[in-house]
Amino acid sequence: MTTKQDAGQAVLDAKTRLGLTWAQLAEALDAPLAWTTSALLGQHPIGKSRAEKAAQILELGPAEVAAFEAQPTRGALDDVVPTDPTIYRFYEVLQVYGPTIKELIHEKFGDGIMSAINFKIDVDRREDPGGERVVVTLDGKYLKYQWG
Amino acid sequence: MTTKQDAGQAVLDAKTRLGLTWAQLAEALDAPLAWTTSALLGQHPIGKSRAEKAAQILELGPAEVAAFEAQPTRGALDDVVPTDPTIYRFYEVLQVYGPTIKELIHEKFGDGIMSAINFKIDVDRREDPGGERVVVTLDGKYLKYQWG
Amino acid sequence: MTTKQDAGQAVLDAKTRLGLTWAQLAEALDAPLAWTTSALLGQHPIGKSRAEKAAQILELGPAEVAAFEAQPTRGALDDVVPTDPTIYRFYEVLQVYGPTIKELIHEKFGDGIMSAINFKIDVDRREDPGGERVVVTLDGKYLKYQWG
Amino acid sequence: MTTKQDAGQAVLDAKTRLGLTWAQLAEALDAPLAWTTSALLGQHPIGKSRAEKAAQILELGPAEVAAFEAQPTRGALDDVVPTDPTIYRFYEVLQVYGPTIKELIHEKFGDGIMSAINFKIDVDRREDPGGERVVVTLDGKYLKYQWG
Amino acid sequence: MTTKQDAGQAVLDAKTRLGLTWAQLAEALDAPLAWTTSALLGQHPIGKSRAEKAAQILELGPAEVAAFEAQPTRGALDDVVPTDPTIYRFYEVLQVYGPTIKELIHEKFGDGIMSAINFKIDVDRREDPGGERVVVTLDGKYLKYQWG
Amino acid sequence: MTTKQDAGQAVLDAKTRLGLTWAQLAEALDAPLAWTTSALLGQHPIGKSRAEKAAQILELGPAEVAAFEAQPTRGALDDVVPTDPTIYRFYEVLQVYGPTIKELIHEKFGDGIMSAINFKIDVDRREDPGGERVVVTLDGKYLKYQWG
Amino acid sequence: MTTKQDAGQAVLDAKTRLGLTWAQLAEALDAPLAWTTSALLGQHPIGKSRAEKAAQILELGPAEVAAFEAQPTRGALDDVVPTDPTIYRFYEVLQVYGPTIKELIHEKFGDGIMSAINFKIDVDRREDPGGERVVVTLDGKYLKYQWG
Amino acid sequence: MTTKQDAGQAVLDAKTRLGLTWAQLAEALDAPLAWTTSALLGQHPIGKSRAEKAAQILELGPAEVAAFEAQPTRGALDDVVPTDPTIYRFYEVLQVYGPTIKELIHEKFGDGIMSAINFKIDVDRREDPGGERVVVTLDGKYLKYQWG
Amino acid sequence: MTTKQDAGQAVLDAKTRLGLTWAQLAEALDAPLAWTTSALLGQHPIGKSRAEKAAQILELGPAEVAAFEAQPTRGALDDVVPTDPTIYRFYEVLQVYGPTIKELIHEKFGDGIMSAINFKIDVDRREDPGGERVVVTLDGKYLKYQWG
Amino acid sequence: MTTKQDAGQAVLDAKTRLGLTWAQLAEALDAPLAWTTSALLGQHPIGKSRAEKAAQILELGPAEVAAFEAQPTRGALDDVVPTDPTIYRFYEVLQVYGPTIKELIHEKFGDGIMSAINFKIDVDRREDPGGERVVVTLDGKYLKYQWG
């Protein structure tokens, strides 16, 4: 049985071997870039036609197609606190700015949350005189605490 | 001795008592909204004149001014994994999309990270036919892995 | 400063001293029973008039009213795994039936979750020939995974 | 040796390959839906005839039958705090409403617990003007603290 | 407010000061020895007349009576793995014999558990040629796994 | 190399396949029931003749005999806090009654412990009008704290 | 109420203030050096006459005497892995040589343990051409695994 | 690749199969007993001639010789707190006597530590009227805190 | 009783209030900069004359002098993994380069360690065309693994 | 698929088999010593020509070349707190001197950090009358906290 993790590893290997980018894969699947990346890494189920399309481009087989379609058990971090510096910085942002985000959501919206389900994320590059910048946009539906 | 945590709690109390908003505080300090919020909550040192201005608006005393100016030991989460749902959703985003963010930073920039030091954050509200949305923008300088 | 935890403890003390029940408090506030209980224990903000009503019944003062109105940082368990047997059984249910709940939500609804924000809970008593039973109903809006 | 976990994985694979639903499996075994799901996932032992029936429908062999019949060591979560969002929401419910459930059990029943052994669970779908809702019902015998 | 923990500490102090034993306290309350000990240490609620009787013998006041009567949040270990050697040995027994106990309960009774709610415990002393022995008896109702 | 864990698993498989009980195995080895169970599960070394006898009855080979004889590294729980409900109840007993056991050992014996080395355990069944009961007896030598 | 920890701290303060050594205290109590140290630090109960003698020398009062006599809940490390370097080295010894000690106890004695209850410890100083050495001797009764 | 752990396991197997003792192995290598044991278990690198000698006696091959010679990453405990009772007792000694050892090192030597690097350990057997005793001697160079 | 932590906090407050720098304090004590800082923060004992000198400059009293002189229980991090970004980066260095440091110590010196006891540390500033740099130098005596 | 960890292990094996040093490998790759070591151990991606050069010297194949080139998920410690003594001493330095480093960075530079990305490390050997010393130099760009 090929798990979604196995399939994600196969995607990384094939992508390197074939010299493909996530942007090319997203375009081929006609899907948003970050969704494509996370789905191929195993965090979302992929519809049949896109799963087959992805397997074709990446020269993978039916086992990977089945894994792409499967419902994931989500959660991609090896450790509760991530050790990889590129990922850790986002945990650090949460340590430093978590209560700030909470205060501002409450001030601008009321008692509620940003949905992580009805949600999209983007990673962009912005040129700046002080050097290029990584801009990550988290965009989720506001969900108000509401009893029933 | 008034710690930065004590001062942050005093800010929250005074803010409620006086009916002030973070937006009003930010305007009075002539500083960005999220910076103002996190600084008054104790995650950044505040320069002398702004510290005094904040204390005046919030009707706080010299002990709080001194605490505002002090260098923080940063880190605002009570638990390694936050339990408050409004904050937890951002940890969940990291669990689901952490490796995706890493892949896209590497694809768009190379081997490096988004700085969490040369960094700003914004929490915005966006109207949408499907309901209003929380948009959190993380904007940090790209730092390339570079040996010395 | 009276925290929401302090106020929750004051509620428990006053409730015992005055011989009140959660049901009486809920009726007096004209609010659902479980909402009333969790709100008075500090897990929800309470609107001004209900906060004042609750304080009056429980013979508490303005400090508790202010605490009732304050925005909570939610999360009520002392330990990551609760030790109290009455609470632990629900963690055990999660250990034994968590993946079952997940499978059935996916089968009956698709890829998504039960909201814990647009959500209500009830604790009921059901007579049964085999002995009375505790029936806890969790009722949350279905949220479908949806990109933006 | 085929473990109950191996057998549970084989069930998931076969179910997808054969296009079966948990509802169909439950009907074929003439057993409650959630019991069937959790038992086939390895959290309950299955009686001989049902184990053989399940293996027949799922086109599995005697190794899986033996695993179905075996006594489980229960506990299905990979982590003490689950990372999958569909499962996590139930942990969040426990964080926010755990003490509320405890208070109401004590008020309605006395000093005791809801059994997680003499217990059944249901996952239902309820239509609602505000959108369809997930309704999870936990129904366990009340057990009173009693000395011997 | 006197918590059950405070009251438990007050019991220990008074017991030493007055030279009382748990056996004397149990006799005075006309209750089992281990129940009396655990209840006075804060792990069980105590009925009004016994609570008052205990306070009288221990020369404690109404605050302790109220704490004795209160519903506990149970769980008495400071650490997940206890460090005190007298208590640790029982954790060690669980590490070495836990699966053995499980096997024998299943062999002698079927798929179920020993209740820790309908339960009593005794600590006895047995003379033996090889030296006196501690005999701890755990006696709980058998609860069979049963669906609803 | 067959580890004691491997051998324990082989025992469980063979026992089921051959329809043997722990009681039959204990009788065949002429050894106490709980000792036999824990030793075959890998928590005690087994003498040569008994190891061979066990292998013969269970139709196992010389690799299992060697594993039975080997000195164990003891400790059988997968997690620091066990998740299986049948085992967890004993951890819960420790959480609720740990300090009680400690108090009563000190009152009945003095400053010391119950040995978990010079120790035996029994799991019995007791009929009771209120339903059958599991009786677990822990019987260990009293060891007094003594300097040298 | 003065706890054994409070009393231990009072001992450390008084010892410094009065310029006393552990050796002088041990001599005054006519007790072994390491026992005296650990007992005054709160890890052992102290008999009445020695408790009073210690309080007299250290110029402490009846509250400390009572605390010295009280039964301890043992365990002196703040963290599961100690951070203080002087203490950590002994944890490191356990990490590097733990299985070696186990092998040699089994080879020299059989299946059993070194008692930590019938036990004494010494810390000595040995001159050596390569520099003075710390010699810590752990001396505990051998306890053989023995069933009942 | 044979790791030092694999080689250590191979040593244990061969030692049992060939009926050798650690004492015989130490004598054959002309090395201290505890050093030999810990080195063969993978906690020290072994010089070429001894590594070959050990492999010859234990009838192991060049892969084990290479593993014996390799530099270890030290640390032999499976868990932060060891579960095996024979090893746990030494952790318990640290919990009960850690601060005592620290006090006595400081009193006898000054501010410093016992080295765990320039260090030797011995496990001995001492006959005693009260029963044979395990004597473990830790002997490390005193290292004084000294700035540069 | 003033602990070393209390005294360290008093140092930080006085230092800010009086506008002193660590460099000025180090000069006044005629001691290395990093030693002075860590000693005043409570990680080293300070000799009598320096302790008095420090108290005089910082306008502190005899309680702080006594705390300065006291033997510390070392370990300054609030969490096992530090959350403050300035400190975290050094933990990250350990995560990324720990095995590299180990390999190079073994290659350049042999099987041994860098002492953290006979040790000094410096934090320097180095100008560089690419921007100023923090240079932290760890300088400890090489200690060779050596048996007794 | 050969992971970077597999490749790192292959490097260690080949290096020993061929009698190569890190210094020789660094020279052959014309790269800094510590960078070479950490990159070959899997903590940095290696450019194509150097990856091929390394594989040639170490007699490794195309799978290792691909692994050398791959983007790492960084973090090399098996445990949150490292157990190997050579590595642990650096964690101990952080426990004892972490806040000191933080204070001195803030005093010498202002509110900011030492980058661990624009960073180099060196491990050197310094002869000293008191014995040879390990000198580890951490050299990272100063990054000032700056809002956007």
B133 backbone dihedrals φ, ψ, rounded to 5°? -125, 145
Number of H-type helices and E-type strands within chain A: 6, 2
State the residue for tokens 């906060």: C51
What is the per-residue pLDDT across F12-67, written as a single tens digit (0 to 9) for each?
A: 999 999 999 999 999 999 999 999 999 999 999 999 999 999 999 999 999 999 99
pLDDT value, residue D44: 98
Same domain (yes/no): H89, H59: no
What is the per-residue pLDDT across A59-114, written as a single tens digit (0 to 9) for each?
A: 999 999 999 999 999 999 989 999 999 999 999 999 999 999 999 999 999 999 99
| Cβ contact G112:H105 at 8 Å | no
Q: What's the average model confidence in pLDDT over C97-103?
A: 98
pLDDT value, residue G1: 78
B19 interface with A at CB cutoff 8 Å: no
Q: What's the average model confidence in pLDDT over D78-95?
A: 96
I118 interface with H at CB cutoff 8 Å: yes
- Enumerate the β-bridge partners of residue H114: H142
Nearest Cβ partner of B147 from J35, J45, J111? J35
Task: Mark yes or no for CB contact H85/F116 under 8 Å.
Answer: yes
F92 interface with D at CB cutoff 8 Å: no
* Last residue within a domain, chosen from D39, D69, D99: D69
| Cβ contact A24:A54 at 8 Å | no
Q: Helices C33-40 and C22-29 sit at what angle, rounded to 10 degrees? A: 100
| Cβ contact F39:F46 at 8 Å | yes
Task: Mark yes or no for CB contact F101/E95 under 8 Å.
Answer: no
State the residue for tokens 């450790």: A79
**pLDDT tier, F113 (very low <50, low <70, confident <90, very high otherwise):** very high
Same domain (yes/no): F93, F134: yes
Q: How far apart are CA D10 and CA D60, in angstroms?
A: 8
What b-and-e string marks burial along F63-76, b requiring 16 or more CB atoms within 10 Å of the CB? ebbbbbbbbbbbbb
State the residue for tokens 């003095």: F110
Q: Which residues, given as ranges, of chain H have pLDDT below 70?
A: none
Task: Mark yes or no for CB contact E1/C16 under 8 Å.
Answer: no
- Among chain H residues, the shortest Cα distance to J15 is held by H70
What is the per-residue pLDDT across D1-48, written as a single tens digit (0 to 9) for each?
A: 799 999 999 999 999 999 999 999 999 999 999 999 999 999 999 999
What is the per-residue pLDDT across C9-43, written as a single tens digit (0 to 9) for each?
A: 999 999 999 999 999 999 999 999 999 999 999 99
B32 backbone dihedrals φ, ψ, rounded to 5°? -60, 150
Catalytic residues of D, by residue number, are 89, 92, 115
Neighboring chain J residues of B71 at a CB cutoff of 8 Å = 106, 111
End-to-end CA distance of chain I: 41
Complete edge-to-edge strand list for the sheet that includes strand B112-126: A112-126, A133-144, B133-144, B112-126
CB under 8 Å to I53, separation ≥6 — which residues?
I28, I29
What is the per-residue pLDDT across E10-50, written as a single tens digit (0 to 9) for each?
A: 999 999 999 999 999 999 999 999 999 999 999 999 999 99
Q: How far apart are CA H27 and CA H18, in angstroms?
A: 16
Nearest Cβ partner of C92 from D21, D99, D116? D116
Question: Which residue type, as a one-letter code, is found at position B9?
Answer: Q
Question: Which residue type, as a one-letter code, is found at position D139?
Answer: D
Q: How far apart are CA C3 and CA D42, in angstroms?
A: 45
Task: Mark yes or no for CB contact G143/F118 under 8 Å.
Answer: yes
Two structure tokens written together for G1: 């109420």
Q: What is the mean pLDDT of chain J?
A: 97
Identify the active-site residue in E17, E27, E59, E92.
E92
- Among chain E residues, the shortest Cα distance to H81 is held by E81
Q: What is the mean pLDDT of chain F?
A: 97
Which helix (H) or strand (E) element contains residue H144? strand H133-144
E66 interface with C at CB cutoff 8 Å: yes
End-to-end CA distance of chain G: 41
E91: pLDDT strictly greater than 90 = yes
Rounded (5°) CA angle H140-H146-I4: 100
pLDDT value, residue H78: 87
Nearest Cβ partner of F32 from G44, G145, G147? G147
**pLDDT tier, E74 (very low <50, low <70, confident <90, very high otherwise):** very high
Identify the active-site residue in I92, I107, I125, I132.
I92
CB under 8 Å to A43, separation ≥6 — which residues?
A72, A74, A76, B96, B97, B100
| Cβ contact G107:H78 at 8 Å | no
Q: What distances in angstroms separate CA A77 from CA B10, D76, D79, D84, I60, one per listed residue? A: 37, 19, 12, 11, 48
E48 interface with D at CB cutoff 8 Å: no
Q: Is residue E15 part of a domain?
A: yes
Nearest CA to B54 out of B34, B70, B75, B69 is that of B69
Query: Which pairing describes strands D133-144 and G133-144: parallel, antiparallel, or unpaired?
Result: unpaired
State the residue for tokens 């109220």: E66
Same domain (yes/no): A137, A99: yes
Question: What percentage of chain F exceeds 70 in pLDDT?
Answer: 100
Mapping DSSP onto H, E and C, the string for F78-119 reads CCCCCCCHHHHHHHHHHHHHHHHHHHHHHHHCCCEEEEEEEE
C97 interface with F at CB cutoff 8 Å: no
C78: pLDDT strictly greater than 90 = no
| CATH code for the domain of G92 | 3.30.1160.10
Residue J66 burial (CB count, 10 A) = 18
Same domain (yes/no): G90, G65: no
| Cβ contact A122:C148 at 8 Å | no
What b-and-e string marks burial along F105-122, b requiring 16 or more CB atoms within 10 Å of the CB? bbbbbebbbbbbbbbbbb
Nearest Cβ partner of I104 from J34, J108, J132? J34
**Within 13 A of E8's CA, how many CA atoms are on the CB side?**
20
C20 interface with A at CB cutoff 8 Å: no
Identify the active-site residue in H17, H27, H74, H92.
H92
Q: How far apart are CA D45 and CA J65, in angstroms?
A: 49
Nearest Cβ partner of F95 from C83, C92, C96? C83
**pLDDT tier, E95 (very low <50, low <70, confident <90, very high otherwise):** very high
Length of chain D in terms of residues written: 148
I148: pLDDT strictly greater than 80 = no
Rounded (5°) CA angle J85-F78-A8: 80
- Among chain J residues, the shortest Cα distance to I26 is held by J104
Task: Mark yes or no for CB contact J41/I103 under 8 Å.
Answer: yes
Q: How far apart are CA D77 and CA C96, in angstroms?
A: 8
Dihedral Cα F130, F136, F142, F145, nearest 10 deg = -100
Rounded (5°) CA angle E95-E97-E99: 90
Q: What is the mean pLDDT of chain B?
A: 97
What is the per-residue pLDDT across J128-140, written as a single tens digit (0 to 9) for each?
A: 999 999 999 999 9
Nearest CA to C38 out of C116, C115, C121, C94 is that of C121
E81 interface with C at CB cutoff 8 Å: no
* Last residue within a domain, chosen from G69, G95, G114: G69
H91 interface with E at CB cutoff 8 Å: no
CB under 8 Å to C57, separation ≥6 — which residues?
C18, C20, C25, C28
Using a CB cutoff of 8 Å and minimum separation of 24, what contacts does H26-32 make? Answer: H28/H53, H28/H54, H28/H57, H29/H53, H29/H54, H32/H120, H32/H122, H32/I147, H32/I148
Nearest CA to B51 out of B14, B6, B7 is that of B7
Same domain (yes/no): D63, D18: yes
E85 interface with G at CB cutoff 8 Å: yes
Q: Which domain holds residue A36?
A: 4-69
- Among chain C residues, the shortest Cα distance to A45 is held by C111
Two structure tokens written together for A19: 């010299």
Chains G and J share 3 or more Cβ pairs within 8 Å = yes
Neighboring chain I residues of H137 at a CB cutoff of 8 Å = none
Same domain (yes/no): I49, I9: yes
Q: Is residue J109 part of a domain?
A: yes
Catalytic residues of J, by residue number, are 89, 92, 115
**pLDDT tier, J118 (very low <50, low <70, confident <90, very high otherwise):** very high
G59: pLDDT strictly greater than 90 = yes
Nearest CA to B113 out of F99, C80, E132, J115 is that of J115
pLDDT value, residue I129: 95
Best interface-test mutation with J: which of B46, B117, B122 has the largest number of J CBs within 10 A?
A: B117
Q: How far apart are CA C16 and CA A11, in angstroms?
A: 62
Distance from CA of I73 to the nearest CA of A (A): 27
Nearest CA to A51 out of A119, A2, A117 is that of A2
Q: Is residue J61 part of a domain?
A: yes
CB under 8 Å to I93, separation ≥6 — which residues?
J116, J119, J121, J138
Two structure tokens written together for G122: 């010494």
- Enumerate the β-bridge partners of residue E142: E114
I1: pLDDT strictly greater than 90 = no
pLDDT value, residue H148: 76
Q: What's the domain count of chain J?
A: 2
G92 interface with J at CB cutoff 8 Å: yes
D148: pLDDT strictly greater than 90 = no
Same domain (yes/no): C54, C89: no
| Cβ contact C39:D124 at 8 Å | no
**pLDDT tier, I48 (very low <50, low <70, confident <90, very high otherwise):** very high
Task: Mark yes or no for CB contact G120/F147 under 8 Å.
Answer: yes
H115 interface with E at CB cutoff 8 Å: no
A83 interface with I at CB cutoff 8 Å: yes
Distance from CA of A16 to the nearest CA of J (A): 8
Q: Is residue B77 part of a domain?
A: no
Q: How far apart are CA G64 and CA G52, in angstroms?
A: 9
Q: Is residue E80 part of a domain?
A: no
Q: What's the average model confidence in pLDDT over B12-25?
A: 96
| Cβ contact E104:F123 at 8 Å | yes
CB under 8 Å to B8, separation ≥6 — which residues?
B40, B41, B42
Catalytic residues of F, by residue number, are 89, 92, 115
Q: How far apart are CA A102 and CA A107, in angstroms?
A: 9
The residue ranges of DSSP E strands in chain E, in sequence order, are 112-126, 133-144
I50: pLDDT strictly greater than 80 = yes
| CATH code for the domain of I26 | 1.10.260.40
Q: Where are the alpha helices (DSSP H) in chain C?
A: 4-18, 22-29, 33-40, 48-58, 62-69, 85-108
Distance from CA of A147 to the nearest CA of C (A): 5
Query: Which pairing describes strands D133-144 and D112-126: parallel, antiparallel, or unpaired?
Result: antiparallel
Distance from CA of H50 to the nearest CA of G (A): 18
Q: Is residue C50 part of a domain?
A: yes
| Cβ contact J140:J112 at 8 Å | no
Same domain (yes/no): C101, C45: no
Those chains having 3 or more beta-carbon pairs within 8 angstroms of chain E are: C, D, F, G, H
Q: Is residue H78 part of a domain?
A: no
Same domain (yes/no): G109, G139: yes
pLDDT value, residue F121: 98
Q: Is residue H77 part of a domain?
A: no
Best interface-test mutation with H: which of E81, E87, E89 has the largest number of H CBs within 10 A?
A: E81
Neighboring chain G residues of E78 at a CB cutoff of 8 Å = 73
Q: How far apart are CA J118 and CA J138, in angstroms?
A: 11
Same domain (yes/no): B138, B90: yes
